[in-house]
């Protein structure tokens, strides 16, 4: 037997005893306890690192939940849990059906299912966080993503993926180049996001973001303009026109309930821009700066030129003035590619559109106004076919830009309301032009009633009808007069001017067989009329007219000494002074 440190030869040696272990199979699984400890350590490391990143990111908005609190929420709510409590206090805020998804994402809320189409997830636009500074909350990135994805692509002239991608690239490039553009785009995106959630409460987070970023945008814009040593760059023009269209954006609230909006109202967010007061100082400054650059053609980006020109068209329409810029797409170009349907296959009402203008004098027939009216007829027929899902219908984007070019041309026509006061033709021209603008407002280029344009245009139509009365054109062109009265009455809904149109329509109808709504609709259909958008409002207006026609007809026998025409003119004369 050999002992440690000894050998048989007597020479000292060092011996190490190693515990014996039986051999293991190559397929044997490693010790689970050691692997679980490694996984646990890695999991804890990544969890703490994530919470630290969240704490830094949310430093500008609100304190993030602590690690233990986040874990408790995650365990309590589970993967299908309701994460809306991160932003709302249950005791103070009652969610409506489909409540707004304005919330800062944490571990608890990142697993929520079925997100809203307008609730853009963090990281979708910028998955590697290369665009945003570390001190900017993720909610800001959400609003930037919303603006890029939903607000700006509607101004494209094409639905091609490359065209939409170019617009998104332009917006992001502008935001990265200019702090003013960055603040403005985020401010507009937050405003649009809030308005898009109809019937929902706007979070305090969104309200504060809009207020602060509008202030930052204006301050940064002034600083960048003061440092300019050459022509103003495109991103600052985009910043200014956006601020001009969002004059009251920081106080805009979503609509309380959903309405059956026309597809032409929502196609380019007219329902959104029409609910805000516009800051004309920004738009006027854009005109001056564009002139200093050398003109509108110096704007190389088609998207930016479309935005500036369309904003100018909307502002010109609201103020009934001529536009300051041309559109990139002309009416002639649009109508050259327009798919004209077979006229014989159309419904009788569509076949009769614009036929009533043929009774006007030759001077009106050869005016460019008539060419625009007939083009509006073609676009209206195409829009009707589109709603009916006809295979011969034009594409929706063609209808949208067709109406844009036609309104631009219509507003560019001269205003002849102050022309020769001794000749009736300017009165007829003004009557046709203003009534056509009313049709555009109701059908092809709709704006919400809160914009104030409806009442302004009804006042202008009343003045034109007063001028026509001086030349007794009501008797010579009664159908044209009735069409203008019905459109003016629709626009004057819920105003004191409504009664004037009701009484005037009743006076002109007493000598005619236009007692019923069907007869009045047949008259209007000979000019410009669209059943889907005009019938309901027109029928309500005619119900008020009928209440005034019957008393007038009942007193005819008491005035045998008067001719029917003299009596009608007398009754209209009592209404003619401007109210």
User: Quick one: pLDDT at residue 13?
Assistant: 72
- Of 324, 330, 331, 376, nearest in space to 353 by CA: 376
User: Quick one: pLDDT at residue 183?
Assistant: 96
Separation between Cα atoms, residue 458 and residue 438, nearest integer Å:
8
Give the chain's residues under pLDDT 50: 1-10, 26-27, 29-34, 60-123, 128, 552-579
Angle at 479 between CA 353 and CA 573, to 5 degrees: 150
Question: What tens digit of pLDDT does each residue of 240-299 get?
Answer: 999 999 999 999 999 998 888 999 999 999 999 999 999 999 999 999 999 999 999 999
User: Quick one: pLDDT at residue 477?
Assistant: 93
Give CA torsion, residues 326, 329, 333, 334, to 10 deg. -120
Separation between Cα atoms, residue 330 and residue 421, nearest integer Å:
34
Helices (H), 366-416: 368-387, 396-412
Residue 125 contacts residue 149 (beta carbons within 8 Å): yes
Separation between Cα atoms, residue 541 and residue 507, nearest integer Å:
15
- CA distances to 54, 58, 131, 269, 327 from 145, in Å: 19, 18, 11, 17, 28
- CA distances to 74, 183, 251, 253 from 248, in Å: 40, 16, 6, 10
Question: What tens digit of pLDDT does each residue of 25-55 get?
Answer: 544 544 444 456 767 777 777 777 777 776 6
User: Quick one: pLDDT at residue 24?
Assistant: 60
């Amino acid at each position: 037997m050999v002992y440690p440190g000894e050998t048989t030869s007597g020479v000292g040696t060092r011996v190490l005893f190693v515990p014996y272990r039986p051999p293991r199979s190559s397929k044997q699984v490693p010790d689970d306890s050691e692997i679980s400890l490694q996984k646990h350590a890695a999991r804890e490391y990544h969890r703490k690192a994530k919470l630290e990143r969240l704490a830094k990111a949310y430093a500008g908005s609100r304190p993030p939940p602590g690690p233990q609190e986040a874990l408790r929420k995650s365990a309590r709510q589970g993967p299908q849990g309701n994460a809306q409590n991160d932003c709302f206090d249950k005791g103070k805020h009652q969610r409506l059906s489909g409540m707004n998804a304005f919330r800062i994402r944490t571990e608890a809320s990142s697993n929520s299912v079925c997100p809203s189409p307008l609730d853009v997830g963090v990281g979708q636009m910028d998955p590697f966080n290369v665009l945003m500074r570390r001190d900017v909350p993720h909610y800001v990135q959400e609003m930037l993503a919303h603006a890029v994805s939903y607000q700006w692509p509607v101004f494209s002239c094409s639905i091609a993926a490359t065209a939409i991608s170019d617009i998104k690239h332009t917006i992001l490039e502008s935001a990265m180049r200019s702090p003013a553009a960055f603040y403005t785009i985020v401010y507009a995106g937050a405003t649009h996001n809030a308005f898009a959630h109809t019937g929902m409460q706007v979070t305090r987070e969104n309200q504060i973001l809009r207020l602060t970023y509008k202030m930052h945008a204006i301050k940064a814009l002034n600083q960048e303009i003061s440092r300019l040593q050459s022509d103003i760059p495109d991103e600052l023009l985009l910043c200014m026109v956006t601020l001009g269209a969002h004059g009251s954006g920081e106080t805009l609230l979503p609509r309380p309930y959903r309405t059956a909006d026309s597809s032409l109202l929502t196609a380019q967010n007219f329902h959104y821009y029409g609910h805000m007061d516009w800051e004309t100082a920004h738009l006027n400054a854009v005109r001056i700066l564009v002139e200093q650059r050398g003109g509108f053609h110096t704007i190389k980006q088609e998207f930016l030129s479309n935005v500036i020109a369309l904003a100018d068209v909307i502002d010109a329409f609201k103020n009934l003035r001529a536009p300051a810029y041309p559109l990139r797409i002309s009416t002639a170009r649009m109508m050259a590619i327009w798919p004209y349907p077979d006229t014989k296959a159309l419904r009788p009402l569509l076949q009769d559109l614009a036929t009533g203008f043929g009774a006007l004098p030759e001077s009106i027939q050869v005016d460019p106004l008539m060419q625009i009216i007939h083009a509006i007829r073609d676009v209206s027929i195409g829009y009707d076919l589109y709603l009916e899902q006809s295979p011969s219908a034009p594409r929706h984007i063609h209808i949208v830009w067709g109406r844009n070019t036609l309104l631009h041309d219509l507003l560019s026509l001269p205003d002849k309301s102050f022309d020769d006061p001794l000749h009736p033709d300017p009165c007829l021209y003004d009557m046709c032009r203003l009534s056509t603008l009313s049709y555009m407002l109701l059908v092809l280029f709709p704006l919400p009633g809160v914009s104030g344009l409806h009442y302004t245009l009804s006042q202008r139509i009343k003045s034109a009808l007063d001028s026509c009365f001086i030349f007794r054109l009501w008797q010579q062109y009664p159908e044209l007069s009735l069409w203008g009265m019905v459109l003016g009455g629709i626009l004057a809904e819920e105003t004191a001017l409504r009664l004037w149109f009701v009484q005037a329509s009743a006076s002109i109808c007493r000598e005619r067989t236009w007692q019923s709504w069907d007869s009045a609709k047949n008259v209007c259909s000979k000019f410009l009329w669209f059943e889907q958008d005009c019938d309901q409002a027109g029928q309500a207006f005619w119900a008020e007219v009928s209440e005034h026609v019957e008393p007038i007809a009942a007193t005819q026998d008491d005035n045998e000494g008067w001719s029917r025409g003299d009596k009608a003119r007398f009754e209209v004369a009592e209404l003619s002074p401007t109210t």
